[in-house]
Amino acid sequence: MINKKTKKQKEIDNQNVLKAYKNLHKKADNFVREVYELEFDVRYLNIGTISDMLESVNKVNFALGRQKEGHTYSDYTKDSNKKEWANSTSITRYKEK
């Protein structure tokens, strides 16, 4: 069944976006520090630093996409043919407290 997101679910989405941005800031800060320490000689830049930063960017994009979705669905097989499907998130993504 597809339903509109509750206020609590929207708050969870906003918290996830904020958390993703904070994580991205840490990774970007680490990248800038490493470049500065290497005196801009990127031949010695750690590939893991770049990979971590790109992974954080993907998490931010995912969180932003989920934030834009206005509905939740409970069952893929029953709900995938409804018109709100493209604008919905699985209900299992939210842990109601």
Sequence-separated (6 or more) residues with CB below 8 Å from residue 96: 8
Q: Determine the Cα–Cα distance for residues 25 and 66; give it in Å rounded to an integer.
A: 20
- Mean per-residue pLDDT over the chain, rounded: 87
pLDDT band for position 96 (cuts 50, 70, 90): low
Q: What is the pTM of this model?
A: 0.79
The 10s digit of each residue's pLDDT in 43-78 is: 777 888 889 999 999 999 999 999 998 888 888 788
Q: Determine the Cα–Cα distance for residues 35 and 31; give it in Å rounded to an integer.
A: 6
